[in-house]
Amino acid sequence: MLRSLILTLAMTLGLVLPALAVEPSEMLADPAQEARARELSQGLRCLVCRNENIDDSNAELAQELRVLVRERITEGDTDDEVLAYLVDRYGEFVLLKPTAEGSNLVLYVAGPTMLGLGLLVALFYILGRRGREASTSKGLSAEEEARLKEIMGE
């Protein structure tokens, strides 16, 4: 009983702790601006934690990024301007979902292209093998059958 209570408490804390990454001192007074900041933060990568958004990270750099996002919002920047500012400052790596243009386009296109090429190679291999098997499995000639019977001792 005690073990299950401890396990339940640990699991509950595990779910709650990421929500505590945003400290009350960071939050904006205007709920609409805070909602915008939270939405933007969900798409920004913590540069320390890797693949964790800055809203869920307790890293010091993530906190600085959260504060920076809120400062830009209070200064009147649009969402696109905030993101552009952060990309200019930290590079496109700060975005959890990079744009599909420029050199990133290669990353978006390479996977499906390689899969398609692999399927084509496999298809040609299978069709070529099937053709070779059909040409070699026509049966034995009368001479070959006679030789086989001779070898088998029949």
Selection from 25-34, 40-49, 133-142 with the highest mean pLDDT: 40-49
Instruction: For residue 44, give both structure tokens.
Output: 């920004």
Q: Which fold has domain 2-94?
A: Helicase, Ruva Protein; domain 3 (1.10.8)
Q: What is the pLDDT of residues 77-96, one digit of tens each?
A: 888 898 889 888 888 888 87
Q: Where are the domains of the chain?
A: 2-94, 104-152
